[in-house]
Amino acid sequence: MKLNKLLPLNDFNSSLQFLFSDIDDTMTDEGLLTTEAYEALWNLNKNKIKVIPVTGRPAGWCEMIARMWPVDGIIGENGAFYFSYKNKKMNRYFFEDEKTRLINQQKLANIQTEIFNKVPKAALSSDQFCRLFDLAIDFCEDITPLSIDEKQLIVDIFNSHGAQAKISSIHINGWFGNYNKVTMILKYLEQVYQIDKINALEICGFSGDSPNDEPSFELFKHSFGVANILNFKDQLKFPPKYISPSKGGKGFVEIAEQIIKKSKITAHD
């Protein structure tokens, strides 16, 4: 499947109960969550479609989002954990135990030193202090954008130490552990709702914007890309099935509206 074969959003015609979604440059524009995008989250909530953000952002941010946004839960640090706030109780599940986490953090500290020695223009993400499981290298959020070769070198350094590395629209995230966004999405559905993978594919969708969303695009037949996914057209082996007309938060609003529309039609059939 090539990106020029992406289906227009209007071709989506199914009823969903869950929407898993990236945040940065999927829900946001230039780092900001617009009024319209936040309203789209509320509209999905009011129409009984459960939204679970799936993000590379850190645990500290996820704690706030789980408590204060109209979401069912959140998966953070590219699948390291999920948080779900229900009945005034925060439920947390971590892929790694505390001992393993501390060992991995020391290994990531050594990798950080090597990255900055070899790619001096790179920077630590400003939210690193909020992170528990991964190392996030900023390549454009708060610095002059790095070149493609510099970004690839950072990925190669992570990989040379046996760490996973994924490129988002703003960061390169590296971690130790056999998990990603998909593994934690499936764990969330299994543990919170007792939904297995086969049933999940019928009632769940995913929206995203960058290469680190590719495993989720591959898994879900109801997968959506906001228009800025086209920035990565040469990097994706598994693109989303549908594409919104607009980029970023406006594209997310369009996706939400189409999901709500089709769910209402199906409910009245």
pLDDT in tens, 53-92: 999 999 999 999 999 999 999 999 999 999 999 999 999 9
Domain 9-95+179-268, CATH number (from 3.40.50.1000, 3.10.310.10, 3.40.50.300, 1.10.540.10): 3.40.50.1000
| Per-domain boundaries in the chain | 9-95+179-268, 98-175
pLDDT digits (tens, 9 = 90+) for 98-151: 999 999 999 999 999 999 999 999 999 999 999 999 999 999 999 999 999 999
Alpha carbon distances (Å) from 219 to 145, 151, 197? 31, 26, 10
pTM, two decimals, is: 0.94
In this structure, CATH architecture of domain 98-175: Alpha-Beta Complex (3.90)
* Mean pLDDT, residues 197-210 taken together: 96
Q: Which residues, 6 or more positions from 256, have their beta carbon under 8 angstroms from its beta carbon?
A: 19, 40, 41, 43, 44
83/67 Cα distance (integer angstroms): 9
